[in-house]
C-alpha cells in the first residue's frame, strides 16, 4: 500500500507540475502574422509645362477707345498648356510704373481648377508710347510669374515661371510661360 500511495503522490505531483507549466507556456504558432504595412505618406506633385498666353487689353465699361500708354487696366485671353494642365483662360489687372515695368495679379481658369498669383514684366526692347504720342508701340518683355494658390485639382498650389512676352501694338500681348507648379497631397 505504501508503494501505491507513493505512486499516487508522484502522479499527483507530475499532474500539478504539468498544469502550471501549461498555464505559463506560450501558444504554438499557427502561422506568423506580419504587422500591417502602413502606406507611405502622399507626396506633393510637381508639374513642369510650357504654356502659351494670348492676352488682349480690355476697355472698361462705356469706353469705346483704347488709349496708347495706358498705365493700368485689364487683360483677358487664352492660356494653352499641354498635358495635365490643358487649355483655359487668363484674366489680370495690370499696372505699369514710370520705368515701364508691368505688374499684375492674375487668375487662370482650367477644366481641373484655377491657378492664381502675380507676374512682373520688365521691358527688354521696343518703345512705349508716351504722352502726346498717339501711336501704339511694339514692345518685348521678360519677367517672372508666381503661383500662390489655386482651386480644384490645383488647391494649395505654389510655383513659379519665367515669362517672355511681346506686343506688336500695346493691345495684344503674346507670352510663353515656363511653369513649374507643385500641388500638396490631397487631405481628407
Which whole number is the average pLDDT over 101-129? Answer: 91
Which whole number is the average pLDDT over 41-54? Answer: 92
Which whole number is the average pLDDT over 27-56? Answer: 81
Asked if 181 contacts 47 with a C-beta cutoff of 8 angstroms, the reply is yes
What's the pLDDT score for residue 29? 56
Which whole number is the average pLDDT over 11-18? Answer: 48
What's the pLDDT score for residue 172? 93
Whole-number Å distance between alpha carbons of 72 and 99: 14
pLDDT by residue (tens digit) across 74-102?
Answer: 999 999 999 878 999 999 999 999 888 99
Is a pLDDT exceeding 50 seen at residue 106?
A: yes
- Greatest mean pLDDT range, 11-15, 61-65, 154-158: 154-158
pLDDT by residue (tens digit) across 154-186?
Answer: 999 999 999 999 999 888 999 999 999 999 987
Amino acid at each position: 500500500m505504501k508503494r501505491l500511495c507513493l505512486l499516487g503522490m508522484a502522479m499527483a505531483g507530475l499532474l500539478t507540475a504539468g498544469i502550471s507549466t501549461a498555464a505559463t507556456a506560450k501558444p504554438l504558432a499557427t502561422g506568423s502574422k506580419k504587422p500591417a504595412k502602413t502606406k507611405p505618406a502622399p507626396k506633393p506633385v510637381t508639374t513642369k509645362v510650357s504654356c502659351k498666353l494670348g492676352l488682349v487689353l480690355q476697355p472698361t465699361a462705356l469706353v469705346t477707345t483704347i488709349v496708347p500708354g495706358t498705365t493700368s487696366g485689364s487683360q483677358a485671353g487664352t492660356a494653352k498648356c499641354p498635358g495635365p494642365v490643358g487649355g483655359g483662360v487668363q484674366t489680370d489687372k495690370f499696372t505699369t510704373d514710370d520705368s515701364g515695368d508691368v505688374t499684375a495679379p492674375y487668375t487662370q481658369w482650367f477644366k481641373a481648377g484655377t491657378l492664381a498669383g502675380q507676374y512682373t514684366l520688365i521691358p527688354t526692347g521696343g518703345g512705349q508710347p508716351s504722352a502726346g504720342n498717339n501711336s501704339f508701340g511694339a514692345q518685348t518683355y521678360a519677367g517672372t510669374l508666381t503661383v500662390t494658390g489655386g482651386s480644384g485639382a490645383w488647391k494649395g498650389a505654389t510655383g513659379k515661371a519665367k515669362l517672355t512676352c511681346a506686343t506688336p501694338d500695346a493691345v495684344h500681348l503674346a507670352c510663353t510661360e515656363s511653369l513649374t507648379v507643385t500641388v500638396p497631397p490631397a487631405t481628407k
